[in-house]
Amino acid sequence: MLVTIKNDVLKAEIDTFGAELKSVVKDGKEYMWNADPAYWKRTSPVLFPFVGGVVGSKYTYENKTYLMSQHGFARDMEFELLSQDEISASFILRSTEETLKKYPFTFELILSYKLDGNRLTLGWTVKNTNDKTMFYAIGAHPAFNIIVAEDGTMSGNYLKFDTKKQMVVRKFADGLVQNGTYLVQPDEDGCLALDGHTFDNGVLIMENDQAHSVALTDSNKKPYVTLEFDAPLFGIWSPEKKNAPFVCLEPWFGRADAADFTGDLTEREYEQSLGSNGVKDYSYTMIFD
């Protein structure tokens, strides 16, 4: 079921399946990717209780092994509409007998959406309903339409960061973080040019609070979509070697396993945790120009 919220500037639609943002329209322009499976069948899934992949598609907790697909299971579950008014809506997912077979914690996950002018703030509330510490990761994966160049590539678009410093990118392959890094250098405007080869090696993963704002801009470096976030990591992705007409800007609280990781759930890098009956709120904001 699609739920619509709107104000004088934006109209947004959210699907109760995955509580996934499907559309944001401003002045008749659609900003969100249409989930064409020829490139990628999703638009803006929530990543929970895992971000990225785990070694061998399985993980260990308290000496028991569980199977887990990439990015967890919340994106593929029906959420309940919790509340709605003209400019906001929230959705809730609760653990089930089926989720307990994959993930040994009971939980409540609330996703919220609220409009304010040309801004859409997305919130996540994670509730641990266990009497023990719960371990998890959570992240965003929104895909935005880009301006496609005459040659059919993303050339002419830029990424604009809130820093001009050289940035360290983790190497990534086969759904896992690899050993080693490489460097990218934004220009004097904090911009990095995109082209048909930017994503040949997969997602760009930036760790350690290197930036807290990332925008897609036109050829004049004017932003048309900006994400603001306080997450310690973020990813930037478009399908490898496909010249897809969209780019994902992804704030993360958690990350895929390193390819050589051998620890259990509690030892994963950037893993989040909540004590018994704890609650934690997260949020990020999309700005549409």
Q: CATH number, domain at 272?
A: 2.70.98.10
Over residues 174-186, the mean pLDDT reads: 93
Query: With bands split at pLDDT 50, 70 and 90, how would you rate the model's confidence at 241?
Result: confident
Residue among 75, 77, 76, 78 at smallest CA distance from 1: 78
The confidence score (pLDDT) of residue 173 equals 86
Q: How do strand 233-237 and strand 246-253 relate by DSSP bridges?
A: antiparallel
- Mean pLDDT value across residues 156-167: 96
Query: Does residue 202 register a pLDDT over 90?
Result: no
State the Cα torsion 229-235-240-245 to the nearest 10°.
0
Write out the residue range of the structural domain in which residue 166 sits: 2-288
Share of the chain above pLDDT 90, in %: 93
pLDDT in tens, 107-157: 999 999 999 999 999 999 999 999 999 999 999 999 999 998 888 889 999
SS3 labels along 48-60: ECCCCCCHHHEEE
Q: Residue with structure tokens 């709605």? A: 84
**pLDDT above 90 for 58:** yes
pLDDT tens-digit profile of 83-100? 999 999 999 999 999 999
Per the prediction, the chain carries an average pLDDT of 96
Q: What is the mean pLDDT of residues 166-171?
A: 95
Q: What is the pLDDT of residue 174?
A: 86
Residue 201 CB burial class (10 angstroms; 0-12, 13-18, ≥19)? middle
Place of tokens 């009497």: 131
Q: Which amino acid is at 83?
A: S
| pLDDT recorded at residue 152 | 82
- Tally of structural domains, the chain: 1
